[in-house]
Amino acid sequence: KFTFTATGFVDPDAPLSLSLEISRDGGNSYTTILTDYTSLSYTTILPFGKQDEDFNITVRGRVKDLYGASSFPATVVVQAFRPANASGAALVEAVKNAAESTLEQARQSGDVTEVVSVASALGEMLSDAGSGSGSSGEVENVASDIVDTLDAALSSGAVTEGAQQAAAETAANVIEATGSGSSQEFKEKAASFISNLIDKTLGSGNGMSTDTGKAFVRGLAAMMSGGSGALAQDLFASVKSIRNQTSGNLVPGEDPVTIVSHRNLIFLFICVVYVNV
């Protein structure tokens, strides 16, 4: 686990809050994983870094006051290695073991932010480990546990925009990790979770950010590639609602419904994790 702390901040307009982003591509793109956290210290797990980036993860954070005035961002680079000599089925097993311990701890904490952060990191790990692992049953079991945990946590009340984006990215990652051979039971569970999260996001009154919309479309497209009939139609309707509600184009010059219907996924691989100052 990593602990990130912002120190030395003083502002009369308290309380202060912490927002965090991470990048696994050397800082070229970031994903928000924590928004307006009411403590200036945060402990979380991180996904594996990418081998071609020397396993580095760039963590960027900023502090806000009561009225949203923000500090300049501060960054730190940490290394998050894969387990030694782990690949294929062994890597899936390592992710499974991490999920069993960390998801339970997050559930016991009762902190929605912690649940989303842990699930996000595990979703990234599973996405890395699941492809070509030959362990489809184990991958689906871990993916199902992640979805169940997120669904229970997010149904308890309002969530921040950062948590919405992280949850959407996590759903996309675990759906892609299971591949087209996942069971119908998992497809229906994932579809229900995404549908509920879309409704919650659109019902928050804050609209939906473009990055969150991209994550939803990626997850729905992955579902549609293996779904059919009424399930696919429900997902298609959800994509249309995203198109109508998201601020800005999901992909410049493209209609997300067209992208999904042709399974022409051209989204960048965006991570979901956590930061230090």
The H or E element containing residue 79 is strand 74-79
Is the bond preceding residue 15 a cis peptide, omega within 30 degrees? yes
- Cα separation, 198 vs 95, in Å, equals 27
Percent share of the chain, pLDDT over 70:
72
State in Å, rounded, how far the first CA of the chain is from the last one. 16
Question: What is the distance, to the nearest Å, from the Cα of residue 102 to the centroid of all Cα atoms in its chain?
Answer: 16
Q: Supply the mean pLDDT for the chain.
A: 74
Q: Is the pLDDT of residue 74 over 50?
A: yes
Q: What is the pLDDT of residues 159-183, one digit of tens each?
A: 677 777 788 888 888 888 887 677 8
Give this prediction's pTM.
Answer: 0.75
Question: What is the distance, to the nearest Å, from the Cα of residue 76 to the centroid of all Cα atoms in its chain?
Answer: 20
Q: What is the pLDDT of residues 227-274, one digit of tens each?
A: 544 665 666 666 666 666 655 555 444 444 444 443 332 222 223 333
- Residue 139 Cα distances to 18, 21, 189, 214, angstroms: 33, 26, 15, 24
Q: Which of 12-21, 197-206, 214-223 has the highest mean pLDDT?
A: 12-21
DSSP string, 5-71: E--S---SSPPPEEEEEEESSTTSS-EEEEEEESSSEEEE---PPPGGGTTEEEEEEEEE-TT--BP
Residue 133 main-chain phi, psi, to 5 deg: -80, -25
pLDDT value, residue 140? 86
Closest CA to 23 of 57, 65, 62: 57
Say which residue, 15 or 101, is predicted with more confidence: 15
The answer to whether the CB of 224 falls within 8 A of the CB of 236 is yes
Q: What is the pLDDT of residues 112-144, one digit of tens each?
A: 878 888 888 888 888 877 665 556 788 888 888
Ranges 27-36, 196-205, 224-233: which has the least confidence = 224-233
Q: Is the pLDDT of residue 7 over 60?
A: yes
- Residue 19 Cα distances to 39, 40, 63, angstroms: 10, 9, 6
Q: Which of 72-81, 204-213, 228-237, 261-270 has the highest mean pLDDT?
A: 72-81
Closest CA to 256 of 238, 269, 243, 241: 243
Closest CA to 76 of 95, 57, 55: 57
